[in-house]
Amino acid sequence: MSLRATLSADMKQAMKDREAGKQRLAVIRMAWAAIRNKEIDAKKELDDNEVCALLMKEVKQREDSITEFKKADRTDLVEANEQEIAILRKYLPEQLSDEDLKAMVQETIAATGAKTMKDMGKVMGAVMAKAKGRAEGGKISAFVRELLK
């Protein structure tokens, strides 16, 4: 079952369950709306990789919001965003551990023959293609910078 179909089925089930608080339903609807908007803009149905990228973007937005809410001492909003992230992560592939990601970056550096920071773009592109939603770009970038010093 595609990621799109899974989201749709879960949204229907959440509506049938008449969930208390309806947060899960609200988050799934938000994700579905983002997917539909992207599909309308692109004039095509998104595949699983594109849906995954869109969901990762939504998670990243919430993580950025959490940082700002912590600065403002808004624990209520921090908790709400953390719950939304937990709901969204259920639809994303399992994230790579730091060790696995670092090993992937090292393999890619060896495969591409990268030696300096000038080669960072080449390495980033290759690692992002291999990771396919299983790692955040910022984390990958940090490891590439560390290993290409």
Report whether 73 contacts 40 (CB < 8 A). Answer: no
pLDDT tens digits, 53-92: 899 999 999 999 999 999 999 999 999 999 999 999 999 8
The sign of the torsion formed by the CA atoms of 91, 12, 54, 57 equals negative
- Claim to verify: residue 44 and residue 23 sit in the same structural domain: yes
Query: pTM here?
Result: 0.79
Domain that holds residue 111: 98-148
Rg (CA), the chain: 18
pLDDT tens digits, 21-37: 588 899 999 999 999 99
- Claim to verify: residue 67 and residue 113 sit in the same structural domain: no
CATH of the domain at 118: 1.10.10.410
d(CA 36, CA 45): 8
- Claim to verify: residue 75 and residue 8 sit in the same structural domain: yes
- Claim to verify: residue 27 and residue 56 sit in the same structural domain: yes
Q: Which amino acid is at 65?
A: S
